[in-house]
């Protein structure tokens, strides 16, 4: 097949490394930050994860596309990756749920892919030198190596500005009116976060990124969730102020990934960029309170600096990454605030951490039940 023989494309890194390959998907160029993810399945969930906005993603698992594309597996309204790099692309999927090929799907959204790449060498290079600017070129004909490298050095990356507005959705409501009410601030929320909350019988109001604390509290929520999202958390300055007010409002609060980083910044801690990030479905995380280790799904390029967490103000490092010791969770000794750096909803990745939704919603139901049992004052009473 031509997919194996026409190596006209290339992934070019800003440090001069060039990885040749065969184009699939949209025949166009793309720019962004070159990263890798170690998930073995779930490529459709990867490309539709808003946290990958502006990134050219290398799949370390070698065979991609073999079970096709299915609408039910999407994690948002569209794919967000800037480009996709794989070792071997399968353009003849075999699965009873398949509704088309990965290549057709990417082409429909104008996203280029590159197959036949030595993804082991690429991954090792990024692990050693870190994520970096890159361009994915579908046809390098007539372009010299120096011209390609200059294109990579000039590539736009999502750490240059607040990119969350690019992926936020519209306001929406779900669930029964007589259930505990949770407000989700959509910084790039994944469908399985909403599904993980909805299957537990709560009422959801989804507000787009940019909502102020007063707007959230006017809805009289029993809990607030701030979702994952792309980019450098320090660029989301207004969101930090919103989270600071919400975290101190007394309403149960759950921050996930970017939401976790915003909690840390709101508390006065600092975030820093990881060398090559944590992206995959097999990262071990230890709960420092119980000693339990869970296998988690992760997708982030920044982390909270442990030494900067203001423990004197009641904040605790709750969980750490077993591989490198980075902060994976925070909680407060008095405030009903929980946050995790990883993705408890999985998709792709394990569902081992669904219990964290239960822990958060237990706080939500306690608040809701307390409010439901408060006596109603008649006119003139209590005056």
Q: What is the CA radius of gyration of the chain?
A: 22
Residue 232 counted as domain residue: yes
Q: Which residues pair with 11 in a beta bridge?
A: 19, 136
pLDDT at 377 over 60: no
* The overall pTM is greater than 0.75: yes
Model confidence over 57-75: pLDDT tens digits? Answer: 999 999 999 999 999 999 9
Range of 30's domain? 2-153
Mean pLDDT, rounded, of the chain: 95
- What are the E-state strand segments in the chain? 9-13, 18-25, 30-37, 55-59, 63-64, 83-85, 88-89, 112-115, 132-137, 172-174, 181-186, 203-208, 223-226, 253-256, 271-287, 293-304, 315-321, 327-332, 337-340
Contact 256, 227 (CB under 8 A): yes
Band (5; pLDDT cuts 50, 70, 90): low
Q: Are residues 139 and 244 in the same domain?
A: no
Residue 379 counted as domain residue: no
Among 153, 188, 217, the domain boundary falls at: 153
When pLDDT is averaged across residues 270-292 and rounded to a whole number, the result is 97
Residue 257 counted as domain residue: yes
Q: Are residues 90 and 176 in the same domain?
A: no
Q: Is residue 305 among the annotated active site residues?
A: no
Contact 117, 89 (CB under 8 A): no
Q: Are residues 149 and 177 in the same domain?
A: no
Q: Are residues 133 and 257 in the same domain?
A: no
Residue 303 counted as domain residue: yes
* Residue whose tokens read 């149960």: 252
- What are the E-state strand segments in 259-348? 271-287, 293-304, 315-321, 327-332, 337-340
Band (78; pLDDT cuts 50, 70, 90): very high
pLDDT, position 375:
64
Residue closest to 203 by CA, chosen among 186, 219, 226: 219
pLDDT at 383 over 70: no
Q: Are residues 169 and 303 in the same domain?
A: yes
> How many domains does the structure of the chain reveal?
2
Q: Measure Cα distances from 104 to 25, 50, 225 in Å.
A: 6, 20, 35
Q: Choose the catalytic residue: 58, 187, 257, 303.
A: 257
In percent, how much of the chain has pLDDT > 90? 95
Q: Are residues 12 and 111 in the same domain?
A: yes
When pLDDT is averaged across residues 148-157 and rounded to a whole number, the result is 98
When pLDDT is averaged across residues 154-159 and rounded to a whole number, the result is 97
Residue 377 counted as domain residue: no
pLDDT, position 7:
82
Q: Is residue 257 among the annotated active site residues?
A: yes
When pLDDT is averaged across residues 198-215 and rounded to a whole number, the result is 97
Buried b (16+ CB within 10 A) or exposed e, 218-236: eeebbbbbbbbbbbbbbeb
pLDDT, position 88:
98
Q: Are residues 220 and 364 in the same domain?
A: yes
Q: Choose the catalytic residue: 125, 181, 283, 343.
A: 343
Q: Are residues 136 and 255 in the same domain?
A: no
Model confidence over 157-167: pLDDT tens digits? Answer: 999 999 999 99
Among 153, 180, 210, the domain boundary falls at: 153
Q: Are residues 291 and 232 in the same domain?
A: yes
Residue 295 counted as domain residue: yes
pLDDT, position 231:
97
When pLDDT is averaged across residues 331-360 and rounded to a whole number, the result is 97
């Amino acid at each position: 097949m031509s997919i194996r023989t026409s190596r006209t494309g290339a992934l070019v890194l800003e440090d001069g490394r060039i990885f040749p390959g065969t184009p699939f998907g949209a025949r166009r160029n793309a720019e962004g930050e070159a990263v890798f993810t170690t998930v073995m399945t779930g490529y459709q969930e990867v490309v539709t994860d808003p946290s990958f906005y502006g990134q050219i993603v290398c799949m370390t698992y070698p065979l991609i596309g073999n079970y096709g594309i299915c609408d039910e597996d999407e994690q948002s309204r569209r794919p967000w990756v800037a480009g996709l790099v794989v070792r071997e692309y399968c353009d003849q999927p075999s699965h009873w749920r398949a509704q088309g090929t990965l290549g057709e799907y990417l082409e429909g959204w104008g996203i280029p892919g590159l197959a036949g790449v030595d993804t082991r060498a690429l991954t090792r290079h990024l692990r050693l030198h870190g994520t970096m600017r890159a361009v994915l070129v579908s046809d390098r004909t007539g372009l010299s190596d120096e011209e390609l490298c200059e294109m990579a050095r000039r590539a736009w990356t999502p750490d240059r500005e607040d990119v969350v507005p690019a992926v936020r959705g519209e306001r929406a409501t779900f669930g029964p009116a007589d259930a505990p009410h949770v407000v989700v601030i959509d910084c790039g929320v994944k469908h399985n976060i909403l599904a993980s909350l909805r299957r537990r019988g709560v009422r959801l109001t989804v507000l787009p990124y940019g909502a102020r604390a007063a707007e959230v509290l006017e809805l009289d929520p029993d809990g607030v969730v701030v979702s994952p999202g792309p980019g450098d958390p320090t660029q989301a300055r207004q969101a930090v102020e919103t989270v600071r007010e919400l975290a101190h409002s007394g309403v149960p609060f759950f921050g996930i990934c970017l939401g976790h980083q915003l909690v840390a910044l709101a508390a006065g801690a600092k975030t820093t960029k990881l060398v090559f990030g944590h992206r995959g479905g097999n990262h071990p995380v230890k709960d420092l309170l119980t000693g339990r280790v869970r296998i988690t799904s992760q997708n982030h390029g920044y982390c909270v600096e442990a030494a900067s967490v203001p423990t004197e103000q009641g904040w605790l490092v709750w969980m750490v990454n077993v591989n490198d010791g980075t902060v994976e969770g925070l909680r407060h000794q008095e405030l009903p605030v929980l946050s995790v750096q990883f993705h408890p909803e999985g998709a792709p990745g394990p569902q081992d951490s669904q219990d964290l939704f239960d822990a958060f919603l237990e706080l939500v139901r306690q608040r809701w039940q307390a409010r439901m049992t408060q006596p109603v004052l008649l006119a003139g009473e209590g005056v």
